[in-house]
Amino acid sequence: MQVGIVGAGAMGSGIGRVAAAAGHAVLLHDVRPGAAQEAIGRIGASIERQVAKGGTTTEDARAILERLTVAGSVEDLSGCDLVVEAVVEDLAVKQALFAELESVVGPDCILATNTSSLSVGAVFRNASRPGRTVGMHFFNPAHVMKLVEVIPGPRTDQRTLATAVTFAEGVGKTPILARDTPGFIVNLAGRAYTTEALAVVNEGVASPAQVDRVMKEGFGFPLGPFALMDLTGIDVNYPVTENIFEHNFADPKLRSTWEHRYLFEAGLLGQKTGQGFYSYPGDTPPARTSGAPADAATVVLTTGADRSLLEFCARAGLTVVDDDGTSPVLLAPLGEDCTSAACRAGVDPRRAVAVDLAFGVRDVVTLMVPPGADPAVVSTLRGQIESASSVEVINDSPGFIAQRILAAVVNLGSEMAQRGVAAPADIDTAVRLGLRYPAGPLALADEHGPRVFTEILDGIHRTTQDARYRASHWLRRRAAADLPIHHPDVVAARTSLAAVTD
Ligand SMILES: NC(=O)c1ccc[n+]([C@@H]2O[C@H](COP(=O)([O-])OP(=O)(O)OC[C@H]3O[C@@H](n4cnc5c(N)ncnc54)[C@H](O)[C@@H]3O)[C@@H](O)[C@H]2O)c1
């Protein structure tokens, strides 16, 4: 295939590289003179490093580079079978480019946009042959990331869609079909993890370092949400968050916080500027504080306490005693703060301490304490638990840290399934490949049972009255009917392809 790439920046050069590596002849064009040649130089240097590490042979490297050619003008792309656009994220610039491309390429040439935040339908609004247009959203770095979201616009035809899918597979990627909706799959699904973490910190429940430790060390996410935002750059994730929030007409599930915005406005963009949620270099997140050296800590359990609490006490070496009037009362609420759970159980909240056991005992144990708790008692308890696990002590909040963040991830994934953003299993695959979560949002629901998540969300919603925590119908119905979360609706979700296939 003759493939044209327009825009030889980070994405265009990556896409050009994978296309050439898969055997396609690639023409690279950029409006800035010299940019396409520089991109080929960068690709060459990177491939050379690969050769040095034994990742490829000198012959293959040479063959890839021979397939990459600079196109001095848009007219030079006239013979292409496919042109992928990766220019600046500006609707007018993209529309003007495609108008120019349509005037030079043949009638069968497929035109693809790599936009990450614009509507594919809008990019191709003025296309004279809209059937041959499509979104192909590669991820950065394109030669490494396996995922490509393939997004049919409202007028994309089946041939174009099939070609885009085949092309993506041919260059070694996993194409996933996404509906033309704000943020497609990955950029939308990713909002839950970070914005709920921001909400936890905004409410003074825990510090960014605590949230990061719980999610990374306790739940296996590759990075905590704050370290992740600092790494991708707040100049990238803040505008994306704001854009997706606006394009979803202020859906409260997608709401960020003032701190996110102020870091962006102050130019404190994370690792690249030396300061974001953390300072760099060398600012390792503040170390945990520790509890008092273990004294044999005693705890009281309420009547009817869950078996998981007894197991936890045994594992942590806590001695369960009859109510002695002084030992802390240990609770394990779901979606409820410690104060409310204690009051409901008829316990003085100043004696209550909550432990998050919603997802079993993790490597990091989260203890949640109400205002008025005796710091010495909490410290002794912590000291004892620390002999077996790491501990984070946080302020009172319905849903601790992990319940809130995981429920937000599951709820948004469920809502995406409900809206037909993609097929349920595809939402999971895209999130695993694009965000490297240990499991996709829907698989996560099945792992712990959809009902746990509706209970958490209902509890938080009851306390906060915030529509952000309203459980998705998709999740609630499957939890109520005891169905797996991937179970499809009887009438298939409407997709952008409806016009083509109906
Ligand atoms: N960077 C990412 O992580 C990422 C990931 C997925 C998708 N995207 C999308 O890919 C596109 C490109 O992003 P990028 O990060 O590679 O940007 P970039 O700034 O690295 O590169 C853009 C290139 O396009 C060129 N350009 C601008 N206007 C042009 C025109 N009219 N004709 C030809 N060339 C033109 C610029 O000179 C520049 O070299 C954007 O739509 C972006 O949203 C980016």
Half-sphere exposure at residue 334, Cβ-oriented, CA atoms within 13 angstroms: 17
402 within a domain of the structure (yes/no): no
What single-letter amino acid sits at 187?
A: N
pLDDT of residue 292: 65
Among residues 329, 334, 336, 375, the alpha carbon closest in space to that of 353 is found at 329
Looking at the structure, tell me whether residues 10 and 142 fall in a common domain.
yes
Co-location of 353 and 372 in the same domain: yes
Asked if 374 and 234 sit in the same domain, the reply is: no
Ligand 1 center to 183 CA (angstroms): 17
Distance 188 CA to ligand 1 centre (A): 20
Q: Does 461 map to a domain?
A: no
How far apart CA 270 and CA 354 sit, in angstroms, is: 33
Verify whether residue 265 is a known catalytic residue. Answer: no
Marked catalytic residue, from 137, 143, 260, 461: 137
| Residue 54, burial from CB neighbour count under 10 angstroms (0-12, 13-18, 19+) | exposed
Q: Closest Cα to atom 18, ligand 1: which residue?
A: 9
DSSP letter at 325 equals: S
- Rounded to whole angstroms, the Cα distance separating 331 from 352 reads 7
Beta strands in 142-247 (DSSP E): 147-152, 174-177
Whether residue 56 sits in one domain with residue 190: no
- In DSSP notation, 284-321 reads PPPPPP--PPPP--EEEE-TT--HHHHHHHHHHTPEE-
Report the C-alpha gap between 403 and 408 in whole angstroms.
8
* Domain-embedded: residue 442: no
Q: Domain boundary residue among 229, 257, 273? A: 273
Residue 396 structure tokens: 């009172």
Determine which helix (DSSP H) or strand (DSSP E) holds 3, and give its type and residue range. Answer: strand 2-6
Closest CA to 205 of 55, 437, 399: 399
Query: Residue type at 470?
Result: R
The answer to whether residues 128 and 198 belong to one domain is no
Closest ligand 1 atom, CA of 29? 33
Nearest to 108 by CA among 175, 172, 157: 157
Kindly state whether residues 339 and 378 are assigned to the same domain.
Answer: yes
Q: What is the DSSP letter of 439?
A: S
Active-site option among 85, 102, 149, 392: 149
The count of domains in the chain is 3
SS3 state at 208: helix
Copy the structure tokens of residue 342. 């204690």
Of all protein residues, whose CA lies closest to atom 28 belonging to ligand 1?
A: 87
Per-residue CA distances from 222 to 152, 216, 435 (Å) = 31, 6, 9
Question: Does residue 126 have an active-site annotation?
Answer: no
Residues of the chain where predicted confidence (pLDDT) is lower than 50: 496-502
For residue 96, give the ligand 1 atom closest to its CA: 31
Same domain? 25 vs 137: yes
The beta-carbon contacts of 336-339 under 8 Å, at least 24 apart in sequence, are 336/398, 336/399, 336/459, 336/463, 337/368, 337/370, 337/396, 337/397, 337/398, 337/463, 338/368, 338/369, 338/370, 338/396, 339/370, 339/371, 339/396
Structural domain contains residue 492 = no
Considering only CA atoms, which of 344, 359, 351 is closest in space to residue 330?
Answer: 351
Amino acid found at 472:
S
The CATH number covering residue 226 comes to 1.10.1040.50
Q: Respond yes or no: is residue 448 known to be catalytic.
A: no
Catalytic choice (13, 114, 119, 187): 187
Angle between helices 10-21 and 35-52 (to 10 degrees): 60
Q: Tell me the C-alpha distance between 131 and 500, whole Å.
A: 10
What angle in degrees, to the nearest 10, is found between the helix axes of 186-202 and 225-232? 120
Burial category of 353 from C-beta neighbours within 10 Å (exposed 0-12, middle 13-18, buried 19 and up) = buried
pLDDT tens digit string along 339-387? 999 999 999 999 999 999 999 999 999 999 999 999 998 999 999 999 8
Residue 81 sits at the vertex; the CA angle it makes with 78 and 84, to the nearest 5 degrees, is 90
For residues 244 and 119, what is the distance between their CA atoms, to the nearest angstrom?
A: 11
Shortest-distance Cα residue to atom 17 of ligand 1? 9
* Whole-number pLDDT of residue 294: 59
Ligand 1 mean position, distance from CA 401 (Å): 36
Domain boundary among the residues 395, 427, 450 is at 395
478 CA to middle of ligand 1, Å? 41
How many C-beta atoms lie closer than 10 Å to residue 441's C-beta? 30
Query: Considering the domain boundaries, does residue 430 fall inside one?
Result: no
Distance between CA 123 and CA 269 in Å, rounded?
29
Residues 49 and 172 in one domain: yes
Residue 87 CA to ligand 1 center (angstroms) comes to: 4
Surface-to-core class of residue 204, CB atoms within 10 Å of its CB (0-12 exposed, 13-18 middle, 19+ buried): exposed
> In terms of Cα–Cα distance, which of 440, 439, 444, 449 is closest to 481?
449
Q: Whose CA is nearest to atom 9 of ligand 1?
A: 115
Residue among 27, 30, 85 whose CB has most ligand 1 atoms within 8 A, to mutate: 30
Domain region containing 250: 186-273
**Whether 447 is catalytic:** no
Give the residues across from 26 on adjacent strands.
Answer: 3, 68
pLDDT recorded at residue 500: 42
Ligand 1 center to residue 131 CA distance, Å?
24
Does residue 403 contact residue 336 with C-beta atoms inside 8 Å?
no
Which of 43, 85, 116 for mutating ligand 1's site (highest number of atoms within 8 Å of CB)? 116
Q: Which residues pair with 319 in a beta bridge?
A: 298
**Is there a contact between 142 and 14 (Cβ–Cβ < 8 Å)?**
yes
d(CA 198, CA 368): 18
Same domain, 343 and 213: no
Q: Is 426 inside any structural domain?
A: no
- At 45, phi and psi to the nearest 5? -65, -40
Q: Are strands 319-320 and 329-331 parallel, antiparallel or unpaired?
A: unpaired
- Find the residues whose C-beta lies inside 6 A of ligand 1: 6-12, 30-32, 35, 86-89, 93, 97, 114-116, 137-140
Total-model pTM: 0.94
Residue whose CA lies nearest to ligand 1 atom number 7? 116
Does 156 lie in the same domain as 39?
A: yes
Nearest residue (by CA) to ligand 1, atom 38, is: 9
Residue 68 shares a structural domain with residue 164: yes
